[in-house]
Structure 1
Amino acid sequence: MVEVNSRVNAAWSKWRSLTGVLCDRKIPEHLKSKIYRAVVRPVAMYGAECWPATKEAESRLSVMETKMLRWTAGVTRLDRIRNDAIRQKFGVALIADKMRETRL
């Protein structure tokens, strides 16, 4: 779990360095999605094939990704928009599914 926490912290650090681009409302969502998938997600997933397959690790990564996508979309929980809708809007698959793919 220590490795997962360090990866989550590294991903947040990378995301924070890109907030000028990712949270800018003038930049199209498809471009934000490409930046997220090319820069932030690989930082979070680095070494995932070696981690133990626990629900806790999947949950921690999923929560991180959902928070990042909500911030990027400019949406809060008060807007009552489902996570699946935001994920579909950005064309991003579940990070838990990506973890399973890397293990195969």
Structure 2
Amino acid sequence: MTGKGRELADVMERRKVDILCVQETRWKGSKARSIGAGFKLFYYGVDSKRNGVGVVLKEEFVRNVLEVKRVSDRVMSLKLEIEGVMLNVVSGYAPQVGCELEEKERFWSELDEVMESIPTGERVVIGADFNGHVGEGNTGDEEVMGKFGVKERNLEGQMVVDFAKRMDMGVVNTYFQKREEHRVTYKSGGRR
């Protein structure tokens, strides 16, 4: 494979990343394909122009995959057994600010269903683009987030915090201080 998939595989190899969740894949279909450099992408998308989610695995872990759940073009999960540990990797892509509330609620409902289907005692990692700002500081939300969020909390960020509380999880990227250039991963027209 050439292009973005190969570029992604090269970065994963260079940074020694074994498992990666990806969003906005914009690939139509429900497949698994090699992307080069010893990595395989499991993905799901219904439209080649928008959305799409996936999980990239180092080839040596592909044999450990027990289940692939492709829920929608915004939510999918893989269940792996690694050294006797059940690991569920969930990839999510929340609707952007400006999308209809109904679409946002559908995403959170799908994500809730995936989480509720995972047996107690199994490990879960969610790699997602939640398209929200949880805000700087954590007053009142210390149990689910650190104080190194970005900007002021918006509705979408509140949905992330509420989800973390429901699932007894943490918003991990808020626990570590980051350099300014690493705090936001998307820029549009000079805005962050």
Which of these two proteins has the greater Rg computed from alpha carbons? 2
The higher-RCO structure (CA 8 Å, 6+ apart) is 1
Q: Do Structure 1 and Structure 2 share a fold, with TM-score over 0.5? A: no
TM-score of the aligned structures, taking structure 2 as reference length: 0.25
TM-score scaled to structure 1, two decimals? Answer: 0.39
Greater strand proportion? 2
Q: Which structure carries more helix by proportion?
A: 1
